[in-house]
Amino acid sequence: MGYRVAVVGATGNVGREMLAILAEREFPMDEVAAVASSRSVGSEVELGDTGKMLKCQNLEHFDFAGWDIALFAVGSEATKIYAPKAAAAGCVVIDNSSLYRMDPDVPLIVPEVNPDAIDDYTKKNIIANPNCSTAQMVVALKPLHDAATIKRVVVSTYQSVSGAGKAGMDELFEQSRAIFVGDPVEPKKFTKQIAFNVIPHIDTFLDDGFTKEEWKMVVETKKILDPKVKVQATCVRVPVFVGHSEAISIEFENEISAKQAQDLLREAPGIMLIDKREDGGYVTPVECAGDYATFVSRVREDPTVDNGLVLWCVSDNLRKGAALNAVQIAELLGRRHLKKG
């Protein structure tokens, strides 16, 4: 007997990826529903590459009773209304928005990092999926933290426009085309031109000068990995369609060499180490798009601090940063608690 799974926000970038990954990983489903806003009702989305088309149902009228799992890929406003309704109906919500991430009664899960935390899901029947840039970073940090105890992390991100949804991808395409043909460039989704540019600003500014995206990386890393780890982040939007990159500097309590780190990362779940000290011996966003792994390259010792390492981390933000992690949470939930399929 399999699960009944609802994908909420099925017509968006992440929702479509969720459907694709459910199919690719052969998640044990008896039934899957594509749920979306009223403007998408009646349109069809494909269940991965299976050829099976799903007609979108209206979120406003969808009855979650009898459904086992709902993967939410809608904004916080809609989630705030409908996630509690789904949870109250007995359907476990796995939410990709930021709404519940820091709720003390909602586990924030990356299965390779803190699987045991999922046991607290019954408090609200909701499980939170972390921010895309946090998810890939903690996967890379976990084996190193277990080995040598991380004190401090300084990370600079290079985040693709798909993190801002379809509108972000469209804007990069349209601006690039406009530049080539000599048309004027007008920023709409982003605060400045994104084509052939970088923007050191993601989400809203806070009173201390950091942005909310940077704040998310700090507090989510503490909740998932270890509350004692200090994190400082600078988050930057770059003209890449899919794939987030991160330059990560790590300071440890205990000594760890680059060779030891490479050996640990090579064997760690969810990580692919590609680290050759030669031209092209590293991974870029173009190569990671469409892949499940979190790629780590350029592992080296930091001579400016005691017990320091520096590394490069790349992942498909629509997959490990969102849809894949959500499906992995569903798989973990099934193994540990629901036990169907």
Is 145 an annotated catalytic residue?
A: no
Instruction: Detail the residues annotated as belonging to a binding site for phosphate.
Output: 101
Q: Reduced to 3 states, what is the DSSP secondary structure of residue 123?
A: helix
Number of residues that make up the chain: 341
Instruction: Detail the residues annotated as belonging to a binding site.
Output: 11-14, 39-40, 101, 159, 162-163, 184, 237, 317
First to last CA, the chain: 5
CA distances from 223 to 94, 104, 128, 322, 340 (A): 17, 9, 11, 17, 29
How do strand 69-72 and strand 92-95 relate by DSSP bridges?
parallel
Q: Which of 132, 235, 288, 313 is catalytic?
A: 132
Is 132 an annotated catalytic residue?
A: yes
Q: Which of 91, 145, 235, 244 is catalytic?
A: 244
CA distances from 160 to 95, 137, 163 (A): 21, 15, 6
Encoded amino acid at 4, one letter: R
Cα 178 from Cα 33, distance rounded (Å): 39
Catalytically active residues are 132, 244
